[in-house]
Amino acid sequence: MAEMNITFRQIRYFIAVAEARSVSGGSSSVGISQSAVTDAIRTLEAETGVMLFHRHAKGVTLTREGHQFLRHARSIIDAIADMQGGVGREQDLTAGSVRVGVTPVVTGYFLSDLLSRFRRMFPRIEVQLVEERRDYIEHLLINGELDLAVLMVSNLEERSAIDHEVLLRSECRAWVAPSHPLSDVDGLSLADLENEPVIALTLDELEGLIDGIWSKFDHPPRVAYRTSSMEGVRSLVGTGAGITLLPDLVYRPWSLEGDRIIAKRTRESLPTVDIGIAWRRLTRHSEAATLFMETVHEHRR
């Protein structure tokens, strides 16, 4: 196998373009000319032998291989940051444990890179994970059975007893198949979706999101299917069975069967899905819990 010659600079430019969904936005975020960023992306694609982005008039979207490369690229950036922070230091020997509550969406789409980084930095601290529904995690926090929780904080119920900090705000967009008549519509409005068959996700704290968005209409959404399977939603949307409204946090441009999915912004401002870290108010944190919180803040995207 030929040796690849990939630079840190190219990886940084690639991440910027992926997050901005456009070459111009990526170049602005890193303060480099568009031509230099374009050259870096082309070189990456030549070195890896795969296409990382789909190019279109409104910007770029990641290919399946691009999503895989993005995950590895972020791991490389995190590893280099850890190495830089650790130069001249002895390995951290802090020992202890921290009990962290999480919800299924957080486990699947936010947690793995964070845990990997924390374990590299503090190998002697045990992270005890408890995956439950959001309402039960709030109960465990208030009772002192958990030190911290990473969950969707935009719909916390026990706000008088729980403090939180937002780590990620994820924009909601409409998902449609490329063959859908609305896939080429500029300035898509919720009114355009009013009578479309809807695929409703009933997983975790995302259940009820569509009903909340549809509350501005005088009738409920026309729900064609309800499913707790994220892959089920992608498969149904990808084959044209309906549309859905979900946050970018869980967006992937392909179903498992290889059907493409397009995510489109609406003219109306949709609610964001906010992922955050939460703890019981007035809690005095252990050293292990404090270090976990600090790592979460550094991991913030």
Tens-level pLDDT at each residue, the chain (301 residues) = 456 678 888 888 898 898 888 888 888 777 777 887 888 888 888 888 889 998 887 788 888 888 888 888 888 877 776 665 554 445 567 788 999 999 988 888 888 888 888 888 888 999 999 999 989 999 999 999 999 999 988 888 888 899 988 888 888 899 999 999 988 888 888 888 888 999 999 877 787 777 777 776 666 788 899 998 999 999 999 999 999 999 988 888 888 888 889 998 888 888 888 888 999 988 888 899 998 988 887 766 4
Q: Which of 277, 280, 286, 270 is nearest to 110 (CA)?
A: 277
* Whole-angstrom distance, CA of residue 171 vs CA of residue 164: 19
Say what the pLDDT of residue 3 is.
60
Residues 170, 248 contacting (CB under 8 angstroms) = yes
Encoded tokens for 117: 């980084």
What pLDDT, on a 0 to 100 scale, did the predictor assign at position 241?
A: 94
* 93 C-beta neighbours (distance < 10 Å), count: 9
Query: What angle in degrees, to the nearest 10, is found between the helix axes of 34-48 and 23-30?
Result: 110
Name residues whose C-beta falls within 8 Å of residue 84's C-beta, 6 or more positions apart in sequence. none
State residue 2's pLDDT score: 52
pTM of the predicted model as reported, rounded to 2 decimal places? 0.69
pLDDT for residue 119: 87
Looking at residue 242, its pLDDT comes to: 93
Task: Please give the full DSSP string across the chain, using - where no structure is assigned.
Answer: -PPP---HHHHHHHHHHHHHTSHHHHHHHHT--HHHHHHHHHHHHHHHTS--EEEETTEEEE-HHHHHHHHHHHHHHHHHHHHHHHTT-PPP---EEEEEEE-HHHHHHTHHHHHHHHHHH-TTEEEEEEE--HHHHHHHHHTTS-SEEEEE-TT-S-TTTEEEEEEEEE-EEEEE-TTSGGGG-SSB-HHHHTTS-EEEE-SGGGTTHHHHHGGGSSS---EEEEES-HHHHHHHHHTTS-BEEEEGGG--SB-TTS-B-EEE-BSS-PPPEEEEEEEETT----HHHHHHHHHHHHH--
What does the pLDDT read at residue 157?
87
Task: Give me the pLDDT at residue 176, please.
Answer: 94
**pLDDT at residue 59, rounded to an integer:** 83
